[in-house]
Structure 1
Amino acid sequence: MTFQDSIKVCFNKYVDFSGRASRSEYWWFALFVVLGCIVTSMVNHWLYYLFALGTLLPQLAAASRRLHDTGRSGWWQLIGLIPLIGFIVLIVFLAQESGEATESTA
C-alpha cells in the first residue's frame, strides 16, 4: 500500500474500529500524522491542535484495526498508558506480522 492509499483508506474508515489494517497501511498513516503534526506546529499552534484533534479518531481506529490484524483486541491500545513500558509493548504489537501469517507458519 502506498502513502497516499493509506491516508485515503484511513480517512474513509474514519471511525471504523472493525476489520484489519496491514502494517503498511498503519505505518504510512502514522508517518502522515507525525509529519502533519510537525508541519502544523511550525505554522501555528492552533492549526496543530486542529490537526491533532482531527486525526485522533482515525489514529485510534487504524491502530485498533492493526491490532485486530495481529490477533489482538483494539483495547490493547490502553497498554500505552503505562509509562514507557506500555508504549514500547504497543509499538512491538503494532509492528508484528499479520496474525494469519503467524498461524500458518506454526
Structure 2
Amino acid sequence: MLMPLKRYAEFSGRSRRKEFWSFFLLNLVVTGVLLGPIYASMIGNMAAMQTGTMDPAASPEIGTVPMALGVLGGLWALGTLIPNIAVTVRRLHDRDMSGWWYLGFIVLSIIPLIGLIAAIAYLVLMCLEGTKGPNRFGPDPKGENLGSDVFS
C-alpha cells in the first residue's frame, strides 16, 4: 500500500496491479475516514431541512472537528497527487503503453458522454494484467523472482 509513497515521483518503470489497487484502497480508506463525517453531517443537515426540523435561515456553523478533518483530507489529497499520477503512469507502462495516455483519459473525461466511455476504458486497463516479460519500460515486476527457490 505504501510503495507508491516510497516511489513518490518515479514515473519510470512498471507497477503491478497489486501496487496500483492497494494504493487505491489506501486512498479510499483514508478519504473515507477523513471526509466521511463531513459528508454524513451534510446529508443529515439536508435531511433535516427537507423534513422541516431545521430552519434553513439559521446557518449552522461548521464545527472545528469537521473543519480539521476537511483540512487534513485536502492535505492528504495534495500530498498523494504526485504518487497517484506516478503509479498510474507506471501501471500504464506495465501494459506497454505510454504514460501520456493518462493525460488523454483526463482530457476525454471532460467531454460528457465520451468521458463515461473513457472512464470505463481506464478502469478496464487498470484491471488488465501487464505484459509478460520485459517491455520497453523495464523488466516484468512479477517475474523478478521466477528462478528462485522458495526454500533456499
TM-score, length basis structure 1: 0.82
Of 25, 28, 37, the residue aligned with 1:34 is 28
Question: Which has the larger Rg?
Answer: 2
Match for residue 84 of structure 1?
A: 116
Q: How large is the Cα RMSD of the aligned pairs? A: 1.7
Count the aligned residue pairs. Answer: 96
Match for residue 71 of structure 1?
A: 96
- Extract unaligned runs of 5+ from structure 2: 38-65, 110-114, 136-152
Q: Is the 8 A contact 1:40 1:51 kept in 2?
A: no
Please identify which structure carries the higher helix content.
1
2:25 aligned partner, one-letter code: L
Q: Once the 2 structures are TM-superposed, how far is the Cα of residue 80 of structure 1 from its aligned partner?
A: 3.6
Q: Once the 2 structures are TM-superposed, how far is the Cα of residue 66 of structure 1 from its aligned partner?
A: 0.5
Name the SS of the counterpart of 1:32 in structure 2: helix
TM-score, length basis structure 2: 0.59
Cα shift readout 1:1-57 (whole Å, capped 9, x = no counterpart): xxxxx31x2111100000000010110011101111111113511111001111111
Structure with greater contact order relative to length (CA < 8 Å, sep ≥ 6): 2
